[in-house]
Amino acid sequence: MDTPVARRCSSIKRIIIVLSGKGGVGKSSVSTQLALSLYGSSPSARVGILDVDLTGPSIPRMLGIDGHPVHQSSDGWVPVFADGTEARMACMSVGFLLKKKGDSVVWRGPKKNGMIRQFLSDVRWGELDYLVIDTPPGTSDEHLSLLEHLAPVHSKLSAVIVTTPQAVALTDAMKCLSFARAVNLPILGLIENMSGYVCPCCGEVSNVFSTGGGEAMAQREGLTFLGSLPVDTELVTLLDASSNPDGVETSELNSIDDVSSSFKLLRSYQATPSSKLFADILTKVLSSLGRISQAGNETSNGQAS
């Protein structure tokens, strides 16, 4: 089907949708870490991150590019490049379109649907190896709009589910899984976030909440368990340090050089020992992606023959 979204997405190889049943489980942090890991997976990897959490956009803040202006060209919106002039990490979020930091989006379904369509059809992503899409918690209008508009490029889609170990989060993660299955969205796997607390002094792991529920759910449901991430104080410090100071007006943030130093700080997280855990997750994500594309090829070959 030839639609504006299909035309725009023709230069994107893989689209990974990050889902969570419950709010606050770390879906945006995982989307950010996933995008950074994919970016670091090869010196030429080109990654986009699209924030469709319209009422709670947090990706610009996490990437240290909060408040940067988005320019409109004759061919659509130019995304903000989190890595500055290297231009391999493109980001788009409703957060860039708000006049002031802290402004809220109070939109009904049709307006949200229009915004998502515009994000998918009007952003000049260019050639991307991966587009990571951070979604709102649960399965809402935004998810339905997203999948409806992306239907012409369904073969490029897959999802990662993020949960925390508590029973209530796992129940909501199950709803997410049912949704993904209902819309025939391949699942790359499940991540259990905030699984234990690592003491910054001695490295001892304390299980503040129950643990292992995510892995058990993955096993039960035949999903790949991508891994557990502990509560990491270093990550929080970095995410806070990379954010722009409160109250900086959009018009004051025009220099692309401002972006590079924040991004370097965030990338330094990728070099810490705790990021080893995310490196293992990335290996499993890439292997699941390979498996899904192979299955897709076999299906299309089978259909062709």
Ligand X SMILES: Nc1ncnc2c1ncn2[C@@H]1O[C@H](COP(=O)(O)OP(=O)(O)OP(=O)(O)O)[C@@H](O)[C@H]1O
Annotated binding site for [4Fe-4S] cluster: 199, 202
CA distance 31 to 46: 15
279 near ligand SF4, rule: CB under 6 A: no
x/- letters, 118..137, toward ligand X (CB under 6 A): -------------------x
Rounded Cα distance, 80 and 92, in Å: 7
* Integer CA distances (angstroms), 228 to 68, 215, 232, 254, in order: 33, 8, 12, 38
- Nearest approach in angstroms of CB 33 to ligand SF4 is 24
Among 167, 236, 279, 295, binds ligand X (CB under 6 A): 236
The two structure tokens encoding residue 289: 């992606």
Give the residue numbers of the binding site for ATP: 21-28
Placement of tokens 């025939």 in the chain: 184
Q: Give the nearer residue to ligand SF4 in terms of CB position, either 163 or 211.
A: 211
The DSSP H or E segment spanning 18 is strand 12-20
CA 143/CA 50 separation, integer angstroms: 13
Q: Taking CB under 6 A as the rule, does residue 199 contact ligand SF4?
A: yes
- Tell me which of 235, 259, 282, 292 binds ligand X, using CB under 6 A: 235
* Dist. CA 225–CA 250, nearest whole Å: 40
208 is a contact residue toward ligand SF4 (CB under 6 A)? no
Give 37 or 211: the residue with its C-beta nearer to ligand SF4. Answer: 211
CA distance 269 to 272: 5
Indicate the DSSP class of residue 251.
G
Q: Which of 202, 220, 245, 304 binds ligand SF4 (CB under 6 A)?
A: 202
Angstrom distances, CA of residue 127 to CA of 7, 38, 46, 137, 138: 12, 15, 7, 28, 30
Q: How far is the CB of 240 from ligand X (least distance, A)?
A: 8
Residue 201: which of ligand X, ligand SF4, none does it interact with, CB under 5 to 8 A by kind?
A: ligand SF4
Among 75, 204, 246, 257, binds ligand SF4 (CB under 6 A): 204
Q: Pick the closest to residue 70 from 83, 81, 59, 58 (CA basis).
A: 81
Residue showing the smallest CB distance to ligand SF4 in the complex: 199
Binding partner at 282 among ligand X, ligand SF4, none, C-beta below 5 to 8 Å by kind: none
- Residues engaged in binding ligand SF4 (CB under 6 A): 199, 201-202, 204
- Binding stretches for ligand X (CB under 6 A): 20, 23-29, 53, 56, 58, 137, 193-194, 229, 231-232, 235-236, 239
